[in-house]
Amino acid sequence: MDKRIELIKGDITTLAVDAIVNAANTRLLGGGGVDGAIHAAAGPDLLQECRNLNGCETGKAKITRGYQLKAKHIIHAVGPIWYGGHRDETEMLASCYKSSLEIARDNKIKTLAFPGISTGVYGFPKDLAAFIAVNETKRFLQKNKYPEKVTFVAFSDEHFETYSKLLD
């Protein structure tokens, strides 16, 4: 496994890293799954800052402060809804990871943690999403100093196994 990439099973909202990535929706105003958990853990000031960002398009990302989280920042990445793979979903998910990594680089974020973007209610196939996440991250880290370390955070045993196979 690449020394700059790590995999853990757990709750992304509890990590003490420079930034966590939120699997956000285009409005950036909270939602279900990891998005709802991050908004709940960060507190009401996050929603206020997000209101001022005027949303975010699919495949892109925006950064906010971390508020009550241990993470200093939150990078809100908007992944695609899965429609069967015929609407550029794979390209949009790749763009989502690349955009998040570029924001981390530009803000000199040393430690970054990703959830499985689009794999919850958005229905993106978990193995394909993990493959895209790992490939985009490896490609980016080869050419960039920041982030120094990327952690993939699996919420379930199944998700953990999927990432483990890709990272070995």
Just list the catalytic residues: 35
Q: Say whether 6 sits in a helix, a strand or coil.
A: strand
Binning the chain into helix, strand and coil, the percentages to the nearest 5 are 40, 20, 40
Positive or negative torsion for Cα 120, 124, 128, 131: negative
Q: What HEC string does 24-50 produce?
A: ECCCCCCCCHHHHHHHHHHCHHHHHHH
Query: What are the contacts of 81-89 at 24+ separation with CB within 8 A?
Result: 81/118, 81/122, 81/123, 82/118, 82/122, 82/123, 82/124, 82/125, 89/118, 89/124
Count CB-CB contacts under 10 A for residue 145. Answer: 9
